[in-house]
Structure formats: structure tokens, C-alpha cells
Amino acid sequence: MAKILIVDDEESIREVVKEYCEINGFETSEAADGIEAIEMAKNNRYDCIVLDVMMPKLDGFTTIKEIKKLTDTPVIMLSARQNEYDKLLGFELGIDDYVSKPFSPKELIARIKVILDRSKVVEKKSIVVDTLVIDVLGRSVTIDNQLINLTPKEFDLLLYMAERPNIALSRQKLLEEVWNYDFFGDERTVDTHIKMLRHNLGDYRNRIVTVRGMGYKFEA
């Protein structure tokens, strides 16, 4: 279920957007100003942020600057102002779309869906955890833009775990899925590859957590 953060100082607008989002199966959270939005973005993961420009305490442009320091979550900007400068500034700051008020809730939902579909394509191509990037199609891993040398099986193991973040995976499950057959031999095969993988991941070694008596999980 996609999670949408709705940021607007007008409660009536938040309620309308929330209603249409939930009708379409999205989970929603609300913030009444920029400061609250930044805190929520800092402590939660969202798939899209719908953000008003004219708000008390902190305007939308400043809010976007701060949010983009924390996350690459797509942003749709709402504004009652029609001038081209606002749109250009918004896109320069990294917004993904711009919707003028008054707006059609159905059109806004359509734009949200386009952004979510686009994000799904990106996710299929890469998995990003801070500065760790797993390029799925290119079968490569970089940390701080530096290529990490992994064997094919180490890459397969890392990818399988990273695609299932925070889920405890047994050694037998990893053997069956990563080695692609029912493995009845020594499960220490997994332990050996995990050891090598941790070594190669350097500062990210702690992302691979041992689940006592069971196996391992990748903490995202």
C-alpha cells in the first residue's frame, strides 16, 4: 500500500485529498505546516508527498529544500499562485509535478499514480540504501560511487535479501532460493558467503544481521 503525506495548512484541502487517496487504496498521513512535514519525513518513509506552497511557519519551497536533504521521495507541489517563476523554482528544487489550485482531486490522484508507477520502474532497476546502490539490471554494487567487487553468488545473495528488507530468512530458504535448488548439504555454505559479503560491504556489513538459531536478514 502506497503511503502519501499530505501537507497543507487548510484542513478542508487535506480532508479532500485524504478521502480520494483512501478511495484509491493509499495510506495517508497529514501535516499542517512545513516544520511538521519535515519531522514526519525524517521519521517515516513515504511514496509520495503532496505539498502546498503557501503555509505558515515555513513555506513550501523551504520545506522542499529540507525534505530533499533527507529523502528522494517524489513531491507534487500545490499552489494557488499561477506564475511561471514558482513552477520553475519548484522543479529546480526537485519536485516531480506541479498542480495549480483549485484542482481536480481526480486529476491529482492520476498524477500521483503516474509518479508511483514511475517509482516502481526505478525500484526494479536499483535498490538504494543511503550510499549503497544495488544495480539490478547491471548486476553491480557501489558504495559512495565506488564499485564493490562481488562474486555472482554474493551478488545474488545480497540482492535476494535486500529485496526482502527486515525479513528473517532461514539458511535453508536462502540455499533454496539463491542456489536455485533444494540443498541438502552443509548450510555453512550460506555462512561462508555471508562472511565474504560482509567483508566486501565494509561500513555496510552491519546491514546483514544474524538471526540467532535461524539465519539472516537485511536491515534497510
Annotate 62-94 with DSSP letters as a single string: HHHHHHHHH----EEEEES---HHHHHHHHHTT
Would the pLDDT of 122 be above 70?
Answer: no
Claim to verify: residue 112 and residue 135 sit in the same structural domain: no
pLDDT at 34: 93
pTM of this prediction exceeds 0.75:
no
Euclidean distance between CA atoms 161 and 184, whole angstroms: 21
Would the pLDDT of 130 be above 80?
Answer: yes
For the chain, the domain total comes to 2
Claim to verify: residue 84 and residue 28 sit in the same structural domain: yes
Claim to verify: residue 105 and residue 186 sit in the same structural domain: no
**106: confidence class by pLDDT, cuts 50, 70, 90:** very high
In terms of Cα–Cα distance, which of 64, 77, 140 is closest to 132?
Answer: 140
Q: What are phi and psi of 38, to 5 degrees?
A: -65, -45
> Which one is predicted more confidently, 109 or 72?
109
Euclidean distance between CA atoms 48 and 115, whole angstroms: 8
**150 three-state secondary structure:** coil
Claim to verify: residue 64 and residue 147 sit in the same structural domain: no
**45: confidence class by pLDDT, cuts 50, 70, 90:** confident
**123: confidence class by pLDDT, cuts 50, 70, 90:** low
95-105 average pLDDT score: 88
Residue that is last in its domain, among 95, 122, 149: 122
User: To the nearest whole number, what is the mean pLDDT of the chain?
Assistant: 88
pLDDT for 134-178, tens place per residue?
Answer: 988 788 999 998 999 998 889 999 999 998 999 999 998 898 888
Q: Which domain holds residue 173?
A: 130-218
Residue that is last in its domain, among 93, 122, 151: 122
Euclidean distance between CA atoms 201 and 220, whole angstroms: 14
pLDDT at 71: 84
Residue that is last in its domain, among 67, 91, 122: 122
Claim to verify: residue 103 and residue 136 sit in the same structural domain: no
Residue 33's CB is within 10 A of a number of other CB atoms, namely 17
- CATH number at 167 reads 1.10.10.10
In terms of Cα–Cα distance, which of 32, 105, 86, 94 is closest to 67?
Answer: 94
- CATH number at 45 reads 3.40.50.2300
Claim to verify: residue 137 and residue 88 sit in the same structural domain: no
Claim to verify: residue 180 and residue 81 sit in the same structural domain: no
Claim to verify: residue 90 and residue 162 sit in the same structural domain: no
